[in-house]
Structure 1
Amino acid sequence: MLTTLKNTLFALLLGLAACGSSTGQPAEAGTPANDPVTGANQTDAYFPLLRGKRIALVANQTSVVFRDGKEPVHLADSLLAAGMDLRRVFAPEHGFRGQADAGEHVQDGTDIRTGLPIISLYGTNRKPGPEHLEGLDLVVFDIQDLGVRFYTYIATLQLVMEACAEAGIPVLVLDRPNPNANFVDGPIMEDAHKGFLGMTPIPLAYGMTLGEYAEMINAEGWLEGGIRAELTVIPLQNYQRSIPYELPIPPSPNIPNTQAAMLYPSLGLFEGTTANAGRGTDHQFQAFGAPYLDPGHFAFSYTPRPNPGASHPKHEGVLCHGRDLRNVEPPRAVNLEWLIEAYTHRDPESEFFLTSGFTRHAGTAELQRQIENGMQMEEIRSSWQPGLEAFRAIRAKYLRYP
């Protein structure tokens, strides 16, 4: 079982990653010998590409340069300390410092540490406009992903690439490991349900790093109008997708540790239901529950309360019955057993599926119909296989890592 990060460590690292170093010196890159070397840590590979350029950075609290025996330095601070001409920051869902609730409108603003203007890509704009890119020579993208289609950082990546392609501005992606990179599973998103929770015809879990995925959407012509961005990826070193990756910094407020990250491909589907997936607790995406689930079947219970990242969780202040998954071995697949179990052992008078939201998360209306019709997990999984085989053939062209 992977060791999970404690919530106190979550708060500490979130602050460190957001604030960066106060030394005014360039980051001293370094990682333990057996750990993957992120793109951001390979300053010798990408600093020459940045010098003399007017730069924007797409980043959040995970965008750091790790240093041996020292606190990580935020990439924005690293670039400024190295004398780079960093003009502005684009912030994804949850904001530049990663503290906004899921789905919360994120405002434009100014970074209090650096004075850099922050342009939200999860507010009025989801895609940078020409005015946001004016005067830039390069956009750098560096965010920790989870490898799940409806985790919105990949939608932000795609829209940034699209805007930059339209404006003739190159994009540099600094790659990071994906804790769910070694499996491909789930329904393929259908064109009819394209949106910010799924912009390309990929499975729910697509088994690629952001760098690999960026190259795929670019080369496959999945940007609007088939245009292509001028794309450079700084790949990982010392990385194998088959080796489990422990997240050093929580990528969003409700993914507090690696256990949550690895359960998210399965429990994220609860976001399209009326059940709670641990929001409003200290075990987000490591449990599920609802007041209308049968307490005779589900022995575990909890009461969601407002907390950072969940100002108003589902069933706030109400006792929920469900299942505690903090100590289960995370599946290397999309596990539907918990979703089917919750649907089966609910009060039959209760509303369970939020049809529009569930369809957007699943990428298809078929999954809800299959569960409502009593299909079991393996039968449903069999229906995914033709689409998964077709996607694996496309994906294979862009895999950089064993």
Structure 2
Amino acid sequence: MNVAVLTGLDRIEKEWPKQLKSVRAGLLAHPASVNGRLEHAADIVLKSKKFKLNAFLGPQHGIRGETQDNMIEWEGFKDKKTGLPVYSLYGNVRKPAPEMLKNIDVMVIDMQDVGSRYYTFIWTMELCMRACFENNKSIVILDRPNPIGGNITEGPVFNAGYDSFVGRRPLPVRHGMTIGEIGSYLKNEFYPALDFYIIKMKGWK
């Protein structure tokens, strides 16, 4: 495959954490969760030999863009292709309920951020980290590039008391991190006991 950067999704089978053997997994993904061949993460992880996929979870806009219109909330359904549950994290709940996690041991997160704290995807990830911490589940983040670069930070950190779903934890407007690096920051600062892994990229600078 002739690409400059391999994402965590591209490397998932080769770099899957050795500590996580024969586990049940849930996948949090969105429309941009594709590999270098433009294959969607939902299709890739179904074929994994490292874990058994038991559930899908979707953020704003759904897993494959089912609710692409900007602010439309959506509720879960059963995937017609696989029969697996698809849980919405942009409907009645933003944080996974224990019922959504009962049949998984690890949550695999593959989402493309835009480099700004205003996007909801990183905050959906943070709420998933919180839920997994509270329910003794593991997290594996498949890292992806920051599309506006990792060398510059810009803008203020919001004042205490003004947190929302477009800014739950202290970050500058342009944060300069990949989604895996944001996950590391959130783990170290807020969920130090969370069982947490990152499948890193190859070729990202």
Structure-1-length-normalised TM-score: 0.48
* Number of the residue aligned with 2:44: 78
Equivalents in 2 of 1:206, 1:188: separation in Å? Answer: 10
Gaps of 5+ in 1: 1-29, 241-402
* Number of the residue aligned with 1:37: 6
Judging changes above 3 Å, is the alpha-carbon distance between structure 1 residues 112 and 196 closer, same or farther for their aligned structure 2 residues? same
Equivalents in 2 of 1:170, 1:140: separation in Å? Answer: 9
Equivalents in 1 of 2:18, 2:123: separation in Å? Answer: 28
1:56 aligns to 2:17 (yes or no): no
The RMSD of aligned alpha carbons is 1.7
**Relative contact order (C-alpha < 8 Å, sep 6+): which is higher?**
2
* Number of the residue aligned with 1:114: 82
Q: Are 2:110 and 2:141, in contact at CA under 8 Å, matched by a contact in 1?
A: yes
Identity among equivalent pairs (%): 35
1:155 aligns to 2:123 (yes or no): yes
Query: Which has the higher Rg, Structure 1 or Structure 2?
Result: 1
1:115, distance to aligned residue in structure 2 (A): 2.5
1:133 aligns to 2:98 (yes or no): no
The letter for the 1-side match of 2:202 is: Q
1:231 aligns to 2:196 (yes or no): yes
Q: Are 1:80 and 1:86, in contact at CA under 8 Å, matched by a contact in 2?
A: yes
Q: Are 1:108 and 1:119, in contact at CA under 8 Å, matched by a contact in 2?
A: yes
The letter for the 2-side match of 1:234 is: I
Question: Comparing both structures, which one devotes a greater share of its residues to helix?
Answer: 1
Question: Comparing both structures, which one devotes a greater share of its residues to strand?
Answer: 2
1:90 aligns to 2:60 (yes or no): no
Q: Are 1:41 and 1:65, in contact at CA under 8 Å, matched by a contact in 2?
A: yes
* Number of the residue aligned with 1:394: none
Equivalents in 1 of 2:161, 2:105: separation in Å? Answer: 35
SS at match of 1:200: coil
1:220, distance to aligned residue in structure 2 (A): 1.6
Equivalents in 2 of 1:212, 1:170: separation in Å? Answer: 17
SS at match of 2:86: strand
* Number of the residue aligned with 1:328: none
Q: Deviations over 1:307-326 (max 9, x none)?
A: xxxxxxxxxxxxxxxxxxxx
Judging changes above 3 Å, is the alpha-carbon distance between structure 1 residues 152 and 214 closer, same or farther for their aligned structure 2 residues? same
The letter for the 2-side match of 1:62 is: A
SS at match of 2:44: helix
Q: How many residues align?
A: 201
**Following superposition of structure 1 onto structure 2, how do residues 335-346 of structure 1 map, counting pairs within 5 Å?**
none
* Number of the residue aligned with 2:189: 220
Match 2:163 to one of 194, 209, 222: 194
Judging changes above 3 Å, is the alpha-carbon distance between structure 1 residues 48 and 76 closer, same or farther for their aligned structure 2 residues? farther
Equivalents in 2 of 1:47, 1:217: separation in Å? Answer: 20
Match 1:142 to one of 110, 127, 140: 110
Equivalents in 2 of 1:63, 1:215: separation in Å? Answer: 20
* Number of the residue aligned with 1:181: 149
Judging changes above 3 Å, is the alpha-carbon distance between structure 1 residues 142 and 157 closer, same or farther for their aligned structure 2 residues? same
1:96, distance to aligned residue in structure 2 (A): 1.0
**Following superposition of structure 1 onto structure 2, how do residues 3-402 of structure 1 map, counting pairs within 5 Å?**
30=1, 32-33=2-3, 35-42=4-11, 43-46=13-16, 51-67=21-37, 72-83=38-49, 84-100=51-67, 101-182=69-150, 183-221=152-190, 223=191, 228-240=193-205
Equivalents in 1 of 2:36, 2:82: separation in Å? Answer: 19
The letter for the 1-side match of 2:126 is: Q
- Runs (4+) off by over 6 Å: none
